[in-house]
Amino acid sequence: MLHKTLVYRDAQIAYYFAENKEKETILLLHPAFADHEIFEAQTESFMEDYQVIAVDMPGHGDSQIKGRNVTLKDMPAILHQIMSDHEISALHIVGVSMGSLVAQAFADRYPERVKSVTMVGGYSIHKANEQILKAQKKEGLKWLGYMLFSMKKFRDHVISVSCYTDRCRTVFRRGIGKFHRKSFSVMSGMNSFFRKQDTPVRYPLLIIVGQQDQQMIREAANTIHKLEKGSQLAVLPAAGHCANLDAPEEFNRLVKDFLLDQ
């Protein structure tokens, strides 16, 4: 994949692009603290049949940000600009954890630009998210405590709750190694993603969750599947939070089969 750079408000946003203009496009959005490498098994597989984009979000991977001019709240606009630069009218999005929140926020703001969303280890930005948001705030305080005293302990903790396999732990460790104390400033503004909406989402939705993920995340997946009547739910037995990297072969098959039906 080619390393590309988008300049957005004087910040350099790195993304990786496998061009194939004759094919549909898949956009890959990583979880918090990781980077595009978390999708190494997907890019290799999806490139055969799709044009693929993997973005390093602000403060992550190669998208290191100085100051507070650009944060995660800007991701929908950043993605829209990348699509415009490459003349992509609409695409499929695969988002893991935080990446799934960004995917939903983008689809909410630019519904005509989204063909489908695959949510991995995530929850809804529109409904039935009160309990998980409370739990996320508690987890955030734990992150802060680790971060203040030891970035190593912070990284070890995040990896332990994100991965079930050694392969996942190895790849995640590379990505989180690029996330520093100063990077936390980019995490602000995501509250703007959340908008209550009782009606079903307008895009085809595939929900994937690892059986080894936290119970709270598994319950969130079941809840959104029940509320989004047209959605599909898949549980991967040998996978944790980053199911795409814990069980890549099964994950890739599920996503490809889902996209073929769209």
How far is 8 from 99, CA to CA, in rounded Å? 19
| For the chain, percent of residues with pLDDT exceeding 70 | 100
Residues 150/67/80/241 CA torsion (nearest 10 deg): 10
Q: Return the pLDDT at 138.
A: 80
The pLDDT-based confidence of 95 (bands split at 50, 70, 90) is very high
pLDDT surpasses 80 at 195: yes
Q: Return the pLDDT at 227.
A: 96
Q: Which parts of the chain fold into alpha helices (H)?
A: 40-46, 75-85, 98-109, 130-149, 151-162, 166-176, 215-227, 243-246, 248-260
Q: Return the pLDDT at 143.
A: 73
**CATH code for the domain in which residue 103 is found:** 3.40.50.1820
pLDDT surpasses 80 at 68: no
Q: Domain residues for 110?
A: 2-260
pLDDT surpasses 90 at 122: yes
DSSP conformation class of 112:
G
Tally the domains of the chain: 1
Beta bridge partners of 52: 18, 26
Q: Decide: 255 and 243 in contact? Cβ < 8 Å.
A: no
Q: Decide: 118 and 93 in contact? Cβ < 8 Å.
A: yes
Which residue in the block uniquely carries the two structure tokens 């799709």?
A: 50
Question: pLDDT per residue over 141-194, tens digit each?
Answer: 777 777 778 999 999 999 999 999 999 999 999 999 999 988 988 988 899 999
How far is 203 from 119, CA to CA, in rounded Å? 12
Q: Is 230 exposed, middle or buried (0-12, 13-18, 19+ CB in 10 A)?
A: exposed
pLDDT surpasses 90 at 40: yes
Q: What's the average model confidence in pLDDT over 80-104?
A: 99
Which residue in the block uniquely carries the two structure tokens 């991965």?
A: 163
Q: Return the pLDDT at 14.
A: 98
The pLDDT-based confidence of 102 (bands split at 50, 70, 90) is very high
Q: Which of 23-27, 95-99, 153-157, 210-214 has the lowest mean pLDDT?
A: 153-157
Q: Return the pLDDT at 123.
A: 97
The pLDDT-based confidence of 106 (bands split at 50, 70, 90) is very high
